[in-house]
Amino acid sequence: MSARKAYPFDDIEPKWQHYWLDKRLFRAADPGEEGSNKPKFYVLDMFPYPSGSGLHVGHLEGYTASDIIARYKRMKGFNVLHPMGWDAFGLPAEQHAILTGTHPAITTKQNIANFKRQIQSMGFSYDWSREIDTTDPAYYKWTQWIFLKLFEKGLAYVAEAPVWYCPMLKTVLANEEIIHTPEGPRSERGNHPVIRKLFRQWFLKITAYAEKLLEGLETVQWPESIKEMQRHWIGRSEGALIKFAVEGKELEIEIFTTRPDTLFGATFLVLAPEHPLVEAITAVEYRNEVENYRAAAFLKSDLERTELSKNKTGVWTGGYAIHPVTGDKLPIWISDYVLMTYGTGAIMAVPAHDYRDYEFAKTFGLPIKKVVVPEKQTEEIGSECFIGEGVAVHSGFISGLRTAEAKKKIIEWLEEKKRGKKDIQYKLRDWLFSRQRYWGEPFPIIWKEGKPLPVPEEDLPVLLPDLDDFTPTDEGIAPLSRKKDWVVLPDGGKREINTMPQWAGSCWYYLRYCDPSNEKLPFAAQKEKYWLSPHGVDLYIGGAEHAVLHLLYARFWHKVLYDIGLVSSPEPFYKLVNQGIILGEDNQKMAKSRGNVVNPDAIIQEFGADTLRLFEMFLGPLQQSKPWSSKGLEGPYRFLARVWRLFMDEDGEGLWVLKKDIVDEEPPLPIKKLLHQTVAEVTQDIENFQFHTAIAKLMTFVNELTKEKKRWKSVLEKLLLLLSPFAPHICEELWHNIGHKDSLAYEPWPEYDPKFLEEEWVEIIVQIDGKVRGRLRAKKDADKDELTTKATDIPAIAKWLENRVCSKIVYVPNRLINFVLE
């Protein structure tokens, strides 16, 4: 053993890692197999993208937490599914290929091997027999198959639309992949400037599931902040669709409003510059001005266009709409503060009751008509914009009604006259699903006579062909277009040349883990039902940054599969835990560009994986962000060395031998009490994900045991079982050293006896005439006379009793003593 090592972790850890792998110790039992009669528990990590830089210590936090739960649940008698795989399609491997000329398949394979080595060196108890890779044709065959199910249901379609395009990445990006900065919109991947461009693209109709996606949030145990982010992204609004006829034309403009009660206050209409009716409505003399404005608006992000503080801009089309109730002529404008991506892309402007409309009306001198006043003031109020609810005024047949009643009555009138109807709208837009990249899943689509046709199921997978040049053209045409013999089929059909986004493979990977080797189906119904009934994955651990990307997309795919009877639970993930970010020692997010990334390999070499596991969890509460501190590794390392020395001594030749003072005797009462208290507290802390406090209690327990002259075998065994989810290698070694032949991984979790948790001492409140004047500690069930004497010895109490006559002493056992004075 090296002199500088406090215990031989460098021998122990590889030994047990090989043992676990060779024995396939953590293989989950599928239905019908031995062990499947236990209650199941599916604990899942968000699987990693295997980048060239390898894992850093921040990545390991969530994996360590999930492994603690997996090991704990096995010991609690559960059949645990704890899988791992690789989300390996996507831009980084392709960018590396473009820079180096190395095929993405080669770098991806190398990166996976490195990630797997690093993960296995941490001793995580994954079932490696279920390992998946999204770039494996045996996997993406079924990604393509699921896409075809979406296509069959009319949920996948092609449309030409203005989309975000990144000139640097040479691909289009979904709205969710754009970040809005003061310098303008940029790509989330790489932080490059992006522009708006018209492209023919594949979309998935996620909007068809907006309501189900909202409803499902009420059934899962997720952080409220994540639920709220999804609710906001979906953006449900109740209101009315109202039809405005266009003067002199056989056209109608539909607007959506959440405040139909303000209809009488509409003084003009505003269309989004992209609205399809703009050309038909615009008068000839205004055409140039309108077209110039539309071109400028096209280049702006939604955030820029809707900024509250920005000056309102717009142009008049020269056209008029007819008010559906009053018949008044309302001028029709276009302005970039109205978005085609929300509502109908048109609004009735009510400047007295909407801030943006008010600013626009003030800028262009348009009429402002107040039609709602606060409930307590039915007279006219000032000219400021009032956006609250109240009472309708100057509103014909709804005047005098409160907002809720006014909404109801005006909608009834509109429906009766066929000029509108009650409606619900969402901010959510359909999911842009195609990319002009090489390294992704090919679409199982063939184009014939301008129509997209599904590839026959028996011809799946559509394999990704080899290419030498992975670069898209400057026009954004996908690189697969270069592979002419792959694109053009003998019958004249042409393959779709775009590829799916990286999100495709991660939308359903948790389902493939249930049945990863199935060649005939994505997963067998029996296995899916066993692992995912009744409410999906039992525990999902990963970063909060996936709130409106992966988590929303996966929920959408899952709900489609549920509707067509392929899965048994309406939601994919029941309980979600977001680990906090581990920051660099500079308090910044770890990033290679900042030079603050901490590689786990060097730490494992110096301190061992068990120390790193303990330290990651001991940094603070799992869900909170916290800075890394390499100095802090010494504490957990010394603690594990103390655990080792509870069992082992060094002989004269530098070898470790089992202590001779380990006895097979009943421990004394104080040690028994401490053991049962520790079992109770560590169990509760693990259940509550309070891993840092569980470790602190184990440290206290070890410190107390170290002070004792004897070592009680039964107590030491319980210690190893409690510590093993956190530091499995050292616990396996010591478990073996004290005479056990089998792994402790499936040993029953220690139970505690509640009688040992009762406190021997209690706090007694001391009162004078019913008012608290002091407190004292006493043995439980102490005698009344003994307590009376103790209480009168307290100086503050003695002062109150001085020169007074006590008529009665009231004693409530273990709670209070009250001196009643004459």
Whether 385 and 377 have beta carbons less than 8 Å apart is answered as no
What's the rounded Cα separation, in Å, for the pair 306 and 744?
A: 60
What's the rounded Cα separation, in Å, for the pair 441 and 135?
A: 8
What's the rounded Cα separation, in Å, for the pair 340 and 272?
A: 6
Whether 157 and 205 have beta carbons less than 8 Å apart is answered as yes
| DSSP of 419-444 | SEEEEEEES---EE--BS-SSSPBPS
Whether 262 and 372 have beta carbons less than 8 Å apart is answered as yes
**The pairing of beta strand 236-246 with beta strand 420-426:** antiparallel
Query: Does the N-terminal peptide bond of residue 444 adopt cis geometry, omega within 30 degrees of 0?
Result: no
For residue 441, give the amino acid letter. E
592 is known to lie in a ligand binding site: yes
What's the rounded Cα separation, in Å, for the pair 90 and 171?
A: 12
- Quote the tokens at residue 294: 């539309």
Question: Radius of gyration (Cα) for the chain, nearest Å?
Answer: 34
Looking from the CA of 565 toward its CB, the CA atoms found within 13 Å total: 0
For residue 31, give the amino acid letter. P
Angstrom CA distances, 166 to 90, 187, 214, 302, 572, stand at 15, 7, 31, 16, 32
Q: CA 404, 408, 409, 414 torsion: positive or negative?
A: positive
CB atoms within 10 A of CB 372: 27
- Strand blocks (E) in 7-148: 40-45, 79-81, 85-86, 132-133
What's the rounded Cα separation, in Å, for the pair 303 and 376?
A: 37
What's the rounded Cα separation, in Å, for the pair 275 and 268?
A: 16
For residue 656, give the amino acid letter. W
Sequence-distant (6+) residues with CB within 8 A of 202 are: 156, 157, 158, 432, 433, 434, 443, 496, 498
What's the rounded Cα separation, in Å, for the pair 674 and 715?
A: 10
CB atoms within 10 A of CB 790: 17
| DSSP of 736-804 | HHTT--S-GGGSPPPP--GGGGS-SEEEEEEEETTEEEEEEEEETT--HHHHHHHHHTSHHHHHHHTT-
Binding-site residue positions: 592
Binding-site residue positions for ATP: 592
